[in-house]
C-alpha cells in the first residue's frame, strides 16, 4: 500500500511538472527509501499531452485492478 501511494504521488508530481514546467523546471520527490528527480525542458504541447495521458491511463488501470 505504501508503494502504491508513493507512485500515485509521483504521478501527481509528474503531471504538475509537465503542466508548470513547459518552459523549464525541475521536480524532486523524496519518499522514505526512494527519490524521484526529473527535469523538464521546453517541450511542445503534444508531448506534454501524451505524457499526461499515459500517466492518467496508468493511474486508471491501477484503480481498475483494485476493483477486481
Tens digits of per-residue pLDDT, 5-30?
Answer: 777 777 777 777 666 655 566 667 77
- pLDDT for position 53: 76
- Cell numbers at 29, concatenated: 520527490
The percent of residues in the chain predicted with pLDDT above 70, rounded, is 56
52, 18 Cβ separation under 8 angstroms: yes
- With vertex at residue 16, the alpha carbon angle to CA 56 and CA 43, rounded to the nearest 5 degrees, is 90
Whether the pLDDT of residue 42 is over 60: the answer is no
- Cell numbers at 4, concatenated: 502504491
- pLDDT for position 57: 77
Instruction: Summarize the confidence of residues 18-44 as an average pLDDT.
Output: 67
Model confidence pTM above 0.75: no
Alpha helices by DSSP H, the chain = 2-20, 45-67
Amino acid at each position: 500500500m505504501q508503494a502504491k501511494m508513493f507512485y500515485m504521488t509521483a504521478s501527481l508530481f509528474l503531471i504538475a511538472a509537465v503542466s508548470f514546467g513547459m518552459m523549464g523546471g525541475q521536480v524532486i520527490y523524496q519518499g522514505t527509501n526512494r527519490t524521484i528527480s526529473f527535469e523538464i525542458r521546453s517541450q511542445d504541447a503534444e508531448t506534454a499531452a501524451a505524457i499526461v495521458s499515459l500517466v492518467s491511463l496508468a493511474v486508471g488501470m491501477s484503480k481498475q485492478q483494485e476493483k477486481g
